[in-house]
Amino acid sequence: MNRRVVITGMGAVTPVGIGVETFWKNLLAGKCGIGPITRFDPTNSRSSLAGEVSDFDPLQYQDFKTASHTDRCGQFALAAAEEAVSQSGVVGTVDPERAAVYLGTGIGGFETTEANCRKLVEKGPRRVSPYFIPMMIANMPAGSIAIKYGFQGQAIPSVTACASGSNAIGEAVRAIRHGYADVIVTGGAEAPITEVGVAGFNSMKALCTSEDPNAASMPFDKRRCGFVIAEGAGILVLEEYERAVKRGAPILGELVGYGTSCDAYHMTAPKPDGTGAALAVRQALQEANWRPGERVYCNAHGTSTSLNDAAETKAIKIAFGEEEARKVVISSTKSETGHMLGAAGAVEAIVCAMTLRDKIVPPTINLLEQDPECDLDYTPNKAREGEFDLAISNSFGFGGHNACVAIRPCK
């Protein structure tokens, strides 16, 4: 069985806007979603900036009881799912046993974990909440979405650090393609801006310590010095093509390729020659039936770390071949959003679909001094018009996880 898979709904909760259209408009305008950390007091923190979702009210999307017993990560997932599922109009059209949820998160309920560890230390084990475990476990955002919509097919989390969102989407594509489900709500969510989380990433020297929001997330710039931690969610409703057409669903793009691999090299550092990442990109291009000469947009992983951006540039060159790689139009929207970890790939897949739809490429902002090691076309600082045959989204995570999803305009 090799069925076609299309996107029929999308939802986004991001530091540059809540709701896909708002997010997209701000992204094209080059809005920077990075600002001072408010989720905790950053006085003692080496990093003082983050991409926070401001003005998020969970009660707009969930009842009081659900919201109070759902970690911020799951709240984002439910909010983005509400937008995506509502746009798709899928509820009531699908056998619940044929509807599934594949959701990525790198960490799960990090705020819940931190709050309960504090309670344990300060007040003892009797004060650890009975909701600590269910709110913290990384599969709960998937479970919560299944509960909300009554989807009884498989509910599967993907936990591959910063590739979680892309792996979830890719695995969902395979599940529909091969007949294990007809409709899948997929994507990723993350809410990692906690004191212990930021401290941990800081100790790894992974985070930028700049105090200037406009000189912090600087993918492919030689001044880059680490990523900026961010939060959010991106959700896509994927559906088998024939049923989507039959019911008159909005068709927002076709998922045509997926590749995934592991560097098998180091816990956190990407393989410097880019071959691990290139394997995932190459697989996705093969599945997408990419041909040299096609017009391609690439939403790069582009984290703004020294190692990633250089290795990813090499990976793109290996996967496409040097000559074709120079024609690929690339941008890293993490320059605007910061790095939403397990949500990043999902939000960036949405960016790919919107780029294909509107024929315009969101920019890599803060790209003033391009690194000679990063010598491709990264769409610096200003959105640019462009019509594409194919869009790919790269995501790479600690553990060496690599994932790439490929989208075409649906014909």
Partner 1 sequence: MDTFQLVQRALAKRVGVEPSEIAPETELMTLGVDSLDSAELLMELEEVLGVEIEVTSKIKTVKDIVVEIDQACKDG
**Which residues belong to the active site?**
162, 301, 339
Q: Which of 3, 118, 127, 178 is close enough to bind partner 1 by CB under 8 A? A: 127
Single-letter amino acid, residue 392: I
Q: Which helix (H) or strand (E) holds 279?
A: helix 275-287
Using CB under 8 A, count the residues that bind partner 1: 12
Of 125 and 372, the one with the shorter C-beta distance to partner 1 is: 125
Residue with smaller CB distance to partner 1, 123 or 382: 123
Report the amino acid identity of residue 230.
Answer: A
Nearest alpha carbon to residue 51 among 208, 186, 166: 208
Interaction between residue 129 and partner 1 (CB under 8 A): yes
Q: Name residue 250's amino acid.
A: P
| Shortest reach from residue 63's CB to partner 1, in Å | 8
Q: How far is the CB of 134 from partner 1 (least distance, A)?
A: 7
Binding segment toward partner 1, per CB under 8 A, in 5-13, 27-35, 60-68, 181-189: 60-68
Is 381 a binder of partner 1 (CB under 8 A)? no
3-state secondary structure 39-75: CCCHHHCCCCEEECCCCCCHHHCCCHHHHHCCCHHHH
Cβ closer to partner 1: 60 or 203? 60
CB of 112 to partner 1, least distance (A): 13
Task: Write down the least CB distance from residue 76 to partner 1, Å.
Answer: 22
Sign of CA dihedral 79, 84, 87, 88: negative
Nearer to partner 1, 116 or 395 (CB): 116
Q: How far is the CB of 133 from partner 1 (least distance, A)?
A: 10
Question: What is the distance between the alpha carbons of residues 308 and 271, in angstroms, rounded to a whole number?
Answer: 9
Q: For residue 131, state whether it binds partner 1 (rule: CB under 8 A).
A: yes
Cα atoms in the Cβ-side hemisphere of radius 13 Å centred on 132: 14
Contacts of 126 (CB under 8 A, 6+ apart): none
Question: Is residue 130 at the binding interface for partner 1, with CB under 8 A as the rule?
Answer: yes
Tell me if 126 contacts partner 1 by CB under 8 A.
yes
The residue within the footprint of partner 1, chosen from 41, 43, 44, 64 (CB under 8 A), is 64
Near partner 1 by CB under 8 A: residue from 2, 43, 55, 65? 65
Q: Which is nearer to partner 1, 47 or 113 (CB)?
A: 113
Q: Which is nearer to partner 1, 126 or 411 (CB)?
A: 126
Give the C-alpha distances (Å, rounded to integers) separating 7 from 173, 252, 254, 306, 352: 10, 5, 6, 34, 12
First to last CA, the chain: 20
CA-based max dimension of the chain:
64
Q: Is 226 in the site for partner 1 (CB under 8 A)?
A: no
- Check if the beta carbon of residue 170 is closer than 8 Å to that of residue 405: yes
Q: What's the min distance (Å) between Cβ of 67 and partner 1?
A: 10
Interface residues with partner 1 (CB under 8 A) are 63-65, 68-69, 123, 126-127, 129-131, 134
